[in-house]
Amino acid sequence: MATLETATSATRPGSPSTGDMIYETDTQKVSLYDGSAWVSYTPDDAPYPLDTSGNTLLTKMPEFHFDASMINGYDATNNPDNADGFDSAVTNGSGGIWTSRTNGVKTKAQGTAGKVPTYYTSGTNSKPYMLAASDELDINTDTLKFSPQKGGGPFTMFCVMEKTGGSSPLSPGGTYFNRASNTSTISGPASIWTHYTDSDDYLGYNSGSDNDSAPTIGGGTASYEHTRMFLLIRDSSDNSRLFVDGNNTNTSLISTNSNNYVLWDALFKSWTFLTAGDLYEIAYWTSDLSTADRNKIITYVNSKYGAGKNHDASGTTARATFS
């Protein structure tokens, strides 16, 4: 009986041949070498390595994980050139489509003139990002399955992003949990989102009230005009809370949303609202991640993007861990 060679995500063969396949014992992925890179195939639910260090293996795989350093979902081969508009004519073969690191989720190619986001190859800690300036970048929602989120239920959203300008229509980043298309069918609290077309910084919109008080980090109220790590988490009791650069939150940054649809509608297009800001990566789980997994995300962000910043980025403040 034929068997696959085994390895871990950190110990793949160094000189593979085209067609070589391995089973990764730490991630439960099957990986195929296509002649230039390893392409991985994942089961429906499995451990998920944020990187190859061995220190960031999460117990749950996200529904999607868009990472600007891997536009094709697995390496930098198709990353656009610096300052390229991210449409169908973009350089390096992506066709203006951003592919998730998991589950094959893709964005739609953006062809609307004047609403095309721009790819930059070097931002915080020399990492690439996608800049939106009142632009659009839709996710193909046909590939997503968010039925557990309809009518409530836990989720975790992880983002690394930056607001661009004090009066930017984006706060803190290019993300939005949109209500269903027919909003008249929804009773109870409205959408949870992390931005609105306003200069304020919102956690959610709950029966007409907004929560826009940023947490204190390093001696002052955190500015989102610097690259930050965000975790928007809803627990099994439908309480949502925003954490900024680790376990930093404001007691007002909580809302209870149990009857709303929580559907991922878009990255940069939000119902009728357009957004602006720098997006480095974003991932989504239909569960409330464990304390250990949250802390592994912090480890990953520290390694990839450098130390956390204080409130105005004039100095560093370590990202507070969860306990």
Please tell me whether residues 61 and 75 are part of one structural domain: yes
- For position 28, what pLDDT does the model report? 67
Provide the pLDDT confidence category of residue 6 given band limits of 50, 70 and 90.
Answer: confident
CATH of the domain at 57: 2.60.120
The number of domains in the chain is 2
Please tell me whether residues 182 and 228 are part of one structural domain: yes
Please tell me whether residues 269 and 164 are part of one structural domain: yes
Model confidence at 20: pLDDT above 80: yes
Q: What is the pLDDT of residues 166-200, one digit of tens each?
A: 433 333 333 333 332 323 232 222 233 343 333 33
- For position 246, what pLDDT does the model report? 95
- For position 307, what pLDDT does the model report? 96
- For position 251, what pLDDT does the model report? 62
- For position 264, what pLDDT does the model report? 37
Q: What is the pLDDT of residues 93-134, one digit of tens each?
A: 999 988 889 877 787 777 667 778 899 999 999 999 998 776
- For position 276, what pLDDT does the model report? 60
Q: What is the pLDDT of residues 67-100, one digit of tens each?
A: 999 999 989 999 999 999 998 889 999 999 888 8
- For position 51, what pLDDT does the model report? 92
- For position 290, what pLDDT does the model report? 95
Tokens of 171: 């706060």
- For position 140, what pLDDT does the model report? 58
Please tell me whether residues 14 and 73 are part of one structural domain: no
- For position 132, what pLDDT does the model report? 77
Cβ within 8 Å of residue 150, ≥6 positions away: 261, 262, 263
- For position 31, what pLDDT does the model report? 84
- For position 259, what pLDDT does the model report? 40
Quote the CA–CA distance of 300 and 151 in Å, as a whole number.
32
Please tell me whether residues 127 and 175 are part of one structural domain: yes
Tell me which of 185 and 26 has the higher pLDDT.
Answer: 26
Q: What is the pLDDT of residues 139-155, one digit of tens each?
A: 655 444 443 455 567 87
Please tell me whether residues 241 and 124 are part of one structural domain: yes
What average pLDDT does the segment 37-42 reach?
Answer: 75
pTM of the model: 0.77
Tracing tokens 């063969």 back to the chain, one arrives at 13
Quote the CA–CA distance of 49 and 57 in Å, as a whole number.
4
| φ/ψ (deg, to 5) at 57 | -80, 110
Tell me which of 179 and 222 has the higher pLDDT.
Answer: 222
Q: What is the pLDDT of residues 240-254, one digit of tens each?
A: 777 889 999 876 555
Model confidence at 289: pLDDT above 50: yes
Please tell me whether residues 204 and 319 are part of one structural domain: yes
Please tell me whether residues 60 and 37 are part of one structural domain: no
Quote the CA–CA distance of 153 and 146 in Å, as a whole number.
10
Domain ranges, residue 12: 1-41
Please tell me whether residues 35 and 160 are part of one structural domain: no
Whether 249 and 201 have beta carbons less than 8 Å apart is answered as no
- For position 197, what pLDDT does the model report? 34
- For position 46, what pLDDT does the model report? 77
- Percent of the chain past pLDDT 70, that is, above it, reads 67
Highest mean pLDDT among 24-33, 86-95, 223-232: 86-95
Provide the pLDDT confidence category of residue 260 given band limits of 50, 70 and 90.
Answer: very low
Please tell me whether residues 89 and 191 are part of one structural domain: yes
- For position 73, what pLDDT does the model report? 92
Please tell me whether residues 31 and 93 are part of one structural domain: no
Nearest partner of 61 among 11, 98, 27, 111, judged by Cα: 27
Provide the pLDDT confidence category of residue 27 given band limits of 50, 70 and 90.
Answer: low
Cβ within 8 Å of residue 192, ≥6 positions away: 177, 203, 204, 205, 232, 234, 240, 255, 257, 260, 262
Per the document, the length of the chain is 323
**Candidate from 54-68, 89-103, 210-224, 268-282 with smallest mean pLDDT:** 268-282
Q: What is the mean pLDDT of the chain?
A: 74
Please tell me whether residues 149 and 232 are part of one structural domain: yes
